[in-house]
Amino acid sequence: MNFDFHLQRLLGRATCNLERGARLMPTARIRNIRGDSGCIRIGAHSIIRGELLTFAHGGKIEIGSWCYVGEGTRIWSASSVILGDRVLVAHGVNIFDNLTHPIDPAERHRQIKDIFTTGHPADINLDERPVLIEDDAWIGAGAFVMRGVRIGMRAIVAAGAVVTKDVPADTIVAGNPAAAVGSVNSG
């Protein structure tokens, strides 16, 4: 697909900034509810097949160069999600820097009511905490990366893992909750 096709497809609403050679594939979905195209940046030569979403009250997604975001993957930001360079995010991954809904049932009902009637609320607390995935990390298919997590350089998150704590550089984690099972350098 060429850039003009994608520009036409997305014309008339805030989307994202694509650097040289970056591509949104037909399965990509940009849901920039925040309404500021500058809050989603896709680095040079990166390929996006999944969904990138910013909430109305905030959010920033920065994807480095030569990254891949697989089909069915969701990156939802109300604070900040940053992927370094050469990060591989497989299919069906979920990366959230927030709770997505308030804990309190009355607040949660208000949020859903707003979404159903007027759109995402511009004033809400979802206990946001930034997510950082450093250069050369690999997030396996079906993994969950939760708010406040830092995944170090060259780390590998196994398929289906649920990451709730920081992952050191060069570490392989698996399971729910994810725990170290090996080292990238031990092979």
> Which candidate in 45, 91, 101, 120 is catalytic?
101
Q: Are 102 and 125 in contact (CB under 8 A)?
A: yes
In order of start, what are the domains of the chain with their CATH numbers? 28-186 (2.160.10.10)
Tokens of 67: 């990254």
Find the Cα–Cα–Cα–Cα dihedral 166, 171, 175, 177, rounded to 10°: -20
pLDDT tens digit sequence for 98-124: 999 999 999 999 999 999 999 889 999
- Taking the C-alpha atoms of residue 3 and residue 92, their distance in angstroms, rounded to an integer, is 25
Q: What is the pLDDT of residue 4?
A: 44
For the chain, what percent of residues have pLDDT higher than 90? Answer: 85
pLDDT class for 15, splitting at 50, 70, 90? confident
CB 78 within 8 A of CB 59: yes
pLDDT in tens, 73-88: 999 999 999 999 999 9
Q: State the pLDDT at residue 74.
A: 98
Q: How confident is the prediction for the chain on average, in pLDDT?
A: 92
Q: Known catalytic residue: 101?
A: yes
Q: Is the pLDDT of residue 153 over 70?
A: yes
Model confidence pLDDT, tens digit, residues 116-145: 999 889 999 999 999 999 999 999 999 999
Inter-residue contact 49 to 30 (CB < 8 Å): no
How do residues 17-31 score in pLDDT, each as one tens digit?
A: 999 999 999 999 999
Rounded to 5 degrees, φ, ψ at 27 are: -85, -10
pLDDT given for residue 37 in this prediction:
87
pLDDT recorded at residue 2: 42
- Please tell me whether the peptide bond between 26 and the residue prior to it is cis, using omega within 30 degrees of 0: no
In this prediction, what percent of the chain has a pLDDT beyond 70? 91
CA torsion, ordered 36, 164, 111, 16, to nearest 10 deg = 10
Using alpha carbons, list the distances in angstroms from residue 20 to 17, 68, 90, 132, 182.
Answer: 10, 15, 22, 23, 36
Alpha-carbon gap, residue 107 to 175, rounded angstroms: 32
130, 145 contact by CB (below 8 A): no
| CA 147 distance to own-chain centroid | 10
Q: How confident is the model at residue 89 (pLDDT cuts 50, 70, 90)?
A: very high
